[in-house]
Structure 1
Amino acid sequence: MTSDRPVVVYPPDEEGGRRVRVDGQISGRAYSARDVAAFLQEAGLQDYDEMDVVRSSLIEWRGGGPDAWAR
């Protein structure tokens, strides 16, 4: 990963999903911190789990933190 905050989690959409961008590329839609962790694992952070996602300074949460999944 190349920048200080290479992961952006966008605000929840109408269905409760949040787009996730990792290193400038959209990885998909997450519906929980577990989904965000899966995207990070696919990007090379295999040891990341849900608790790492909640505490990580790598992630910029837009439109609510790791507990905001409904619009």
Structure 2
Amino acid sequence: MVTAPIVVHWPSPTGGRHVTAYGHVLGLAHDDRDLIEFLRRAGLPDAETLIDDPQMVEWRGGRAHHYETA
């Protein structure tokens, strides 16, 4: 099974979600603004549209765009 190159992982116990792209850790996002900034810094200028593209971004655990602890 092929997975998306960008992964937004489960919400952490203290809030926020770890983000990886192509196997590299980008940081801990606390909201979509953080996520978009991480992706821009990684060289993905269309980050605003990418975060809702399931071929590019896999949201693991919880709902997409939710960063609080479950």
TM-score normalized with structure 2 length: 0.79
**Helix, strand or coil: the match of 1:11?**
strand
Which residue of structure 2 lines up, in the alignment, with residue 65 of structure 1? 63
Determine if contact 1:33/1:66 at 8 Å carries over to the other structure: no
Give the fraction of aligned pairs with identical amino acids, expressed as a percent: 36
What is the DSSP-based 3-state SS (H/G/I as helix, E as strand, rest coil) of the residue aligned with 2:66? coil
Task: Identify unmatched segments of 5+ residues in structure 2.
Answer: none
Q: Secondary structure at the match of 2:11?
A: coil
Does residue 1:56 correspond to 2:53, yes or no? Answer: yes
Q: Given the alignment of the two structures, is residue 20 of structure 1 paired with residue 26 of structure 2, yes or no?
A: no
Q: Is this contact kept in 2: 1:11–1:19, CA < 8 A?
A: yes
- Equivalent in the alignment of 1:45: 44
Which whole-Å deviations, capped at 9, do the CAs of 1:4-55 have from their partners, x for residues lacking one? 6100111111221110001101111000111111111111112322x542x2
Match of 1:36, SS state, is helix
| CA RMSD, Structure 1 to Structure 2 (Å) | 1.8
- Residue number in structure 1 paired with 2:34: 35
Consecutive unaligned residues of structure 1, counting only runs of 5 or more, are none
User: Residues of 1 paired with 2:14 and 2:29: CA distance?
Assistant: 11
Question: Normalising by the residue count of structure 1, what TM-score does the alignment of the two structures yield?
Answer: 0.78
